[in-house]
Amino acid sequence: MSERSLGKDLLGLESLTAEQITLILDTAEPFKEVSERPIKKVPTLRGKTIVNLFFEASTRTRISFEFAEKRLSADTVNVAALGSSVQKGETLVDTARNLEAMRIDMVVIRHPSSGAAQFLAERIRSNVVNAGDGTHEHPTQALLDLLTLRDKFGRIAGLKVCICGDVLHSRVARSNIWGLLKLGAEVAVCGPPSLMPLGIEELGVTVFRRIEDAIQWADVLNVLRLQLERMHAGFIPSLREYYRVFGVTVERLERAPKDLVILHPGPMNRGVEIDSRVADGPHSVILHQVTNGVAVRMAVLYLLAGGRPELAEAAKGKGEVAE
Amino acid sequence: MRPLLLRSGRVVDPSQGLDEISDLLIREGKVAGIGRGLGVPDDAEVVDASGWVVSPGLIDLHVHLREPGQEDVETIASGARAAAAGGFTAVCAMPNTDPVTDNQAAVGFIVKQAQAAGAARVYPIGAISLGQRGVQLAEFGELVSAGAVAVSDDGRPVASSHLMRMALSYAQTFGIPVADHCEDPTLSGGVMHEGLVSTRLGLRGIPSAAEEIMVARDLLLAELTRGHIHLCHMSTKGSVDLIRRAKDKGIKVTAEVTPHHLILTDEACLGYNTHAKMNPPLRTAADVEALREALKDGTVDVIATDHAPHHYDAKEREFDDAPFGVIGLETALALGITQLVRPGILTLAELIDRMSCAPAKVFNLPGGTLRPGTVADVTVFDPEARWKVDPERFYSKSRNTPFAGWEVFGKVVMTIVGGRVVFRSGAD
C-alpha cells in the first residue's frame, strides 16, 4: 500500500504505517478551517453517497461523521439498528449485500462486535470506515486525539501519554496505543488490574498500578469512560471506590511535577473517572478534541474517496459552493 | 460376502507390535490371517496393497452428528459416510442433539440410523444428566443396554461437582467412562483464547484456567470415586501437567486431543476467521508443544476430532455471533501424517495407536487390532499421496474447516467395516 494513500478502508490503526497516520493528520489541517467559515461547505465529495450504519447508540461520533460528510457535500443516509431490518433479524452480510446493490460509495459503521467493520469491508466494494467495532478499534477517535496532541505540543514523538481506566473494554485505548506507538510516543496504561487485558505489556506499553504514579510520569492523560455495567459484572466494587482510587482529581494533578494535558473521548462520567473541575479546567482539551473530530473525519473520507493529499488545500476551495 | 485379500501392504498394527510388508486375509467379517504368501481362497477379491498402509480401523471417540435436530448440517448417515471417507471404521456420537440422547429410545434411534447408513459404525454416547441440564442423572443402565458406550454432557459442561461425583460413581456399575467437557462456566463467556491475540482483536477471552480448574476437579473426583474419567479435547499445557501427575498417582483417567489443537494456535483467529472459533479455543504455541509431547508420551491417550458441523451461514457472521466448532473426520488422518508423522513428532505406528488401538481400549470397543479372529475393521491408506483439502468434496454436509486449501499427505484408499468395504477411493 502506498504511503500516500490509505487503501480501500479505514478499519484500525494497527494496520497503518506511521506515514499513513501522519498523512491523515496532515490532510486534516486544511479541513479545520472549513468549519470556521460562515458557510461550512466545500464541494469535494459532491455526488458521493455515504451510509452511516450505526448498530450501537452514538451521539458524538455519528454527528461528527455526519457534519464531516455534509461539509464535504456528500449525500448521506443514516441507518440506526433500531427500527431497521437489522432489528427484524437481518444478518450483517445481507445488510452489506443490500447496500452494495444500492451502489453506495462509502459506509461508516459502528457495531457492538469486534471485527464487524472488517467483516463488512471484505464483502463489499464500497469504502468502509470503522466508527468503532466492539472492543477492537475506534480509529477516528485516536486520530482526533493525535491531532489534538500535535496541536498542543507540536509533535507526538517523545510525548508520555497514559491511558487511564477500563482498557479491557476500550476500543479507544487500543487505537490510541497503536497510533501513539507508531508516531513515537511513550505509552502507559493505568487502571484496576481487573480491567486490564492479558498481554497488554507485550504491545509495548508500561503498566501503572496507581494513578499517582502515572501522574508523576505523564505529559498527557487520556481518561477513558467507565461504564456503569462494569460494576454490576463484578469488575470493580463500586463507582465510589473507583473515583477514590483511580479518579483524575484536581488534588492529584496538583502534585504532578508539570502541567498535564487531559483528554477524554466522551461522554464523561463526572465524578467517576474524572473530577468536574478537571474536565472544565485549564488542562482539559476535551472540546478541542470534538472540534478536531470533524476535520479528521473529513480527511479520512477525502483520502478514501481517492483525494490526493497535496490537493487537500485546493480541494476545500476558496469559499462557499453553490448547490 | 466374498473373502478379501490385501496383498503386500505395509501392515501396521501397534496392538501386536506389527510393522511389516504382509498379506491380510479377511473372511466372514473377521481377520482370517496375516502373513506372506497366504493362500487365496477361490472366490476371494484380491487387492494389490503394495505401497499402502493396512492398519486397524480408525476410531473417533468424539463426533457431533447433529441428528436428531439439525439434519440440515449433518445426519447420522452423512456423518458415517464422512467418517468412512476419512478412514474411520467407528465413531462415537455425542448426545447434545435435539432432543438430547438421554434415554433408551434416543440411543436406539441412533443405532438404527447407523445400521441403515451402512458406513462407519456409530456408537452412541448417552447424556450424563436428563436433558443435559446438569441436575438429575440419566438412566445409565438403560442407555448402556440400548447401545451407549459412554456418558457425557459434552457441549454443556457439568457445573455441579456433586453431579459429576455421582456420575463417576454410578457409571462403574456398567463399566463405562464418564467423558467431560472441562469448562468452568463462571470463567467462560469468551469467544477465543484469552491472551495477546484476544487483546489485539478486542475479543472476549476464555482463560486456560477455565479448563484447568475443571480438569483438576474431575481428577480429584475420579480419585475419590475410583471411577473412569475421560477428559475431552484437552487444550492447555496446564491440563496435561495435571493429567500426567494424576496418571502417576494411578488415577483412572484418559484424555483426548483434537487435530486442530495439535496444529493451530490462537493466531488462526486473526482477521476474525470464524473457522478458527472453537471451544475449547485454540491456544498458544507453548500449549501446542505440550499437547504434542503429551500425545507422544501417552499422557493424552487419543486423537479425537470433535467433528462439529455447522451451516455455512452460521459461520458467515460476526466472530462474536458465529458458533463454536469445526469438522474434522475427513482431514484428521492426513493432518496427522502431514503435521505429526512427517516432521518426526510421532511414528506412523504411534499415530495409528492414538487413532485406533488406544480409542478402542479407552471406550472398550471392538476393533483397534488386526489380531486374527477379531472383527475385520480395517483402514487402507496411501501415506505418500498428496492432495489439497477441498471442502466442496467432503462427504460431510458441512464445510466448516480451518484447513481448506492445505496441502496434505495421506489418502484413504479403502475403509473396511466388518469385512465389508464401506469406502473405496475413486469409487464414488
Using the predicted structure, report yes or no on whether residue B89 has a pLDDT greater than 50.
yes
- Crossing angle of the two packed helices A286-304 and A60-71, in degrees rounded to 10: 50
Catalytic residue among B60, B102, B153, B306: B306
Residue B230 Cα distances to A151, A202, B250, B302, B334, angstroms? 62, 36, 14, 11, 25
pTM of the model: 0.94
Using the predicted structure, report yes or no on whether residue B344 has a pLDDT greater than 80.
yes
Q: Is A138 a catalytic residue?
A: yes
Write out the DSSP string of B250-283: T--EEEEE-HHHHH--GGGGTTT-GGG--SSPP-
Within 8 A of B317 by CB-CB distance, chain A residues are 91-93, 119
Within 8 A of B320 by CB-CB distance, chain A residues are 112-115, 134
Residue B152 is given by DSSP the state: E
pLDDT of amino acid A232: 78
Q: What is the ipTM of this complex?
A: 0.91
Contact A91 B313 (CB under 8 A): yes
pLDDT of amino acid A321: 40
Q: Is A232 a catalytic residue?
A: no
Q: What would the grid cell of residue A3 be?
A: 504511503
> What are the structural domains of chain B?
4-54+375-424 (2.30.40.10), 57-362 (3.20.20.140)
Give the closest-approach CA distance of B397 to chain A in angstroms: 22
Within 8 A of B200 by CB-CB distance, chain A residues are 14, 174, 203
Give the closest-approach CA distance of A119 to chain B in angstroms: 7
Residues sharing a CB contact under 8 Å with residue B148, sequence separation 6 or more, in sequence order: B101, B107, B123, B124, B125, B126, B140, B176
Backbone angles phi, psi at A299, to 5 degrees: -65, -45
Contact B199 A199 (CB under 8 A): yes
pLDDT of amino acid B156: 87
Contact A113 B318 (CB under 8 A): yes
Specify which residues B18 forms β-bridges with.
B13
Contact B198 A136 (CB under 8 A): no
B-chain residue closest to A169, CA distance: B202
Nearest to A136 among B201, B205, B313 (CB): B201
Which stretches of chain B sit within 8 Å of chain A by CB?
A: 194-196, 198-205, 207, 271-272, 313, 316-321
Mutate to test the interface with A, among B203, B272, B316, B317 (most CBs of A within 10 A): B272
Q: What would the grid cell of residue B116 be?
A: 441403515
**Per-residue pLDDT band at A1 (split at 50, 70, 90):** very low
pLDDT of amino acid A85: 65
Nearest to A174 among B202, B207, B320 (CB): B202
* Average pLDDT for B138-144: 98
Nearest to A115 among B196, B272, B316 (CB): B272
Q: Is B306 a catalytic residue?
A: yes
Interface size between A and B, measured as CB pairs under 8 A? 66
Q: What would the grid cell of residue A177 be?
A: 496505543
- Crossing angle of the two packed helices A139-153 and A18-32, in degrees rounded to 10: 70
Q: What is the average pLDDT score of chain B?
A: 97
Catalytic residue among A8, A40, A60, A70: A60
- For residue range A17-33, list pLDDT tens digits in order: 999 999 999 999 999 99
Percent of chain B with pLDDT over 90: 96
Using the predicted structure, report yes or no on whether residue A125 has a pLDDT greater than 80.
yes
Q: What would the grid cell of residue A49 be?
A: 453517497
b/e map of B120-135 (b: 16 or more CB within 10 Å)?
bbbbbbbbbbeebebe
- For residue range B183-202, list pLDDT tens digits in order: 999 998 899 999 999 999 99
Report whether A40 contacts A147 (CB < 8 A). no
Using the predicted structure, report yes or no on whether residue A322 has a pLDDT greater than 70.
no
Using the predicted structure, report yes or no on whether residue B169 has a pLDDT greater than 70.
yes
Give the closest-approach CA distance of A141 to chain B in angstroms: 16
Report whether B179 contacts B154 (CB < 8 A). yes
Using the Cβ of A136 and the Cβ atoms of chain B, whether some distance falls under 8 Å is answered with yes
- The larger pLDDT score, comparing residue A232 to residue B67, is at B67
- For residue range B11-40, list pLDDT tens digits in order: 999 999 999 999 999 999 999 999 998 888
Give the closest-approach CA distance of A282 to chain B in angstroms: 34
Catalytic residue among A110, A174, A264, A316: A110
Cis peptide before B280 (omega within 30 of 0): yes
Q: Which of B361, B359, B379, B357 is nearest to B369 (CA)?
A: B357
In chain A, alpha helices (H): 18-32, 60-71, 92-101, 116-121, 139-153, 171-182, 211-217, 229-232, 239-246, 250-254, 276-279, 286-304, 312-315
Within 8 A of A199 by CB-CB distance, chain B residues are 195-196, 199
pLDDT of amino acid A319: 45
Nearest to A198 among B194, B316, B321 (CB): B194
**Per-residue pLDDT band at B252 (split at 50, 70, 90):** very high
CB burial class (10 A; 0-12, 13-18, 19+) of residue B249?
exposed
Residues sharing a CB contact under 8 Å with residue B316, sequence separation 6 or more, in sequence order: A91, A93, B274, B322
